[in-house]
Structure 1
Amino acid sequence: MGMMAHTASPDLDVDHERSLDAQPPSSWQTVVWNDPVNLMSYVSHVFRTYFGFDAATAHRLMMAVHHDGHAVVARGPREVMEAHTQAMHDYGLWATVRKDPS
């Protein structure tokens, strides 16, 4: 029995598969929302403690939460943003994950 030559199908072309793998993973955001419970100083403390932000960055983000109603505090893969969101819940803050619109 002879060997049959393999003919590549355009639908299964290896280059096509590589181009799919080369696309960057979609980006997600952790958003912290304003609430009527937590003090501004506590929100800044959480941002510094959990995310490691310096005082100025933590204060700027806290002020965005306070004045704008929310702030994006992190961007990255969905699983990481979900972990950040759960951590914010553990600290008593309101937070959600959303797809990065950019």
Structure 2
Amino acid sequence: MTAVLTTPHVDEQSELRQRTEPERSWQAVVWDDPVNLMSYVTHVFREYFGLPRAEAERLMLAVHNEGHAVVAEGMREQMELHVQAMHDYGLWATVRQAPQ
């Protein structure tokens, strides 16, 4: 017995429509904590993110005065890496979807 392979019929007139929604950005958020010094938080932002001193201090003051600061925004996987790095430095951090 011989197997016969056939190709399926493809309707070339049909159009595939793919609904694409723009991907929402994600944010890495650092939260205020009672443990880390402001100078240390500034140091972490400068060392890990490569920020200039003024930007690192601005973010640190937002963490201190407002309770949190968005330190990065982008693809979820990258934000998860940033949050893990912040945890490795001893900072409290989470990932959240950016508002639309």
TM-score, L = length of structure 2: 0.85
Out of 25, 28, 33, the residue aligned to residue 26 of structure 2 is 28
Q: Does 2:47 align with 1:53?
A: no
- Matched residue type, 2:54: A
Partner of 1:90: 88
Out of 63, 66, 70, the residue aligned to residue 64 of structure 2 is 66
- In 2 relative to 1, CA 5–87 (structure 1 residues): closer, same or farther, beyond 3 Å? closer
| Identity among equivalent pairs (%) | 63
Task: Count matched residues.
Answer: 92
TM-score, L = length of structure 1: 0.83
- In 2 relative to 1, CA 47–5 (structure 1 residues): closer, same or farther, beyond 3 Å? closer
Q: What stretches of structure 1 of length at least 5 have no aligned partner?
A: none
Q: Which has the larger radius of gyration?
A: 2
Tell me how large the CA RMSD over aligned residues is: 1.8
